[in-house]
Amino acid sequence: MERSGKDGLKLEDLASSLAKMVLQSIDKIRLECLIKYGVNPENSKHRLEIVILSLFSLKAAIFIAQQSSMFDQCKGSELLLYVEQHLKISYVDVLTLGYADQFENLLETRYEEYESRDTPVSTIPRIGLRFSRNIGIDDLAIVLWAEMKYRKFRLKYVDFLKMMNDRYDLIC
């Protein structure tokens, strides 16, 4: 293995930073603009769905990073697993929703739902429609917000992963 001259960074440490970024999506200040559309910053179901949308955006960003050879599939899968583990703890502690296995089951279901709707050429905001249905608010503003946030989150994560990959040797 060649030395690149870059410092090493464990995927676990990178995952911790990414989990914090995902949880930033439910800061009350960021959710205040959604109150007028029915999103309740105190509603754990609403917060959880926003976290899942942000996490799905991260999953899409990791896939993009793998496709552009930023890092291999093994590292990408392991990184996502670490982030999910951090968020599983938050599911019980921060989101005060229930048990970790409930989070895992819901996450698997949501990934399937969102993946089946994530089509880059679609002019219909499919991710936003699914998000709106999942939180139980039928409002076009929420649909468009979720679609836009999905794309913004994904871009933010791609940029972050690229920066970390350029700066560090990522170590499993």
Dump pLDDT digits (tens) for 17-30: 999 999 999 998 88
The predicted structure's pLDDT at residue 7: 86
Share of the chain above pLDDT 90, in %: 53
> Which residue blocks in 5-99 are alpha helix, DSSP H?
11-24, 28-31, 44-67, 73-93
Report domain extents, the chain.
7-171
Residue 1 confidence class, pLDDT cut points 50, 70, 90: very low
Better pLDDT: 9 or 154: 154
- Angle among Cα 24, 153, 140 to the nearest 5 degrees reads 100
In three-state secondary structure terms, 155 is helix
Dump pLDDT digits (tens) for 72-128: 778 889 999 999 988 887 766 655 666 667 788 888 999 999 998 887 777 778 999
- Angle among Cα 19, 99, 29 to the nearest 5 degrees reads 45
Q: What's the CA gap between 147 and 158, in Å, rounded? A: 17
The answer to whether 128 touches 147, Cβ cutoff 8 Å, is: yes
Residue 36: is its pLDDT beyond 70? Answer: yes
Better pLDDT: 123 or 52: 52
Q: What's the CA gap between 75 and 62, in Å, rounded? A: 9
Q: What's the CA gap between 119 and 10, in Å, rounded? A: 32
Residue 2: is its pLDDT beyond 60? Answer: no
Q: Which two tokens stand for residue 124?
A: 């219909």
Share of the chain above pLDDT 70, in %: 91
Residue 51: is its pLDDT beyond 50? Answer: yes
Better pLDDT: 92 or 58: 58
> How high does pLDDT run on average in the chain?
87
DSSP E strands, 52-91: none
How large is the average pLDDT for residues 46-73?
90
Reduced DSSP (H G I as helix, E B as strand, rest coil) percent helix, strand, coil of the chain, to 5: 75, 5, 25
Nearest to 110 by CA among 41, 32, 55: 55
Better pLDDT: 4 or 139: 139
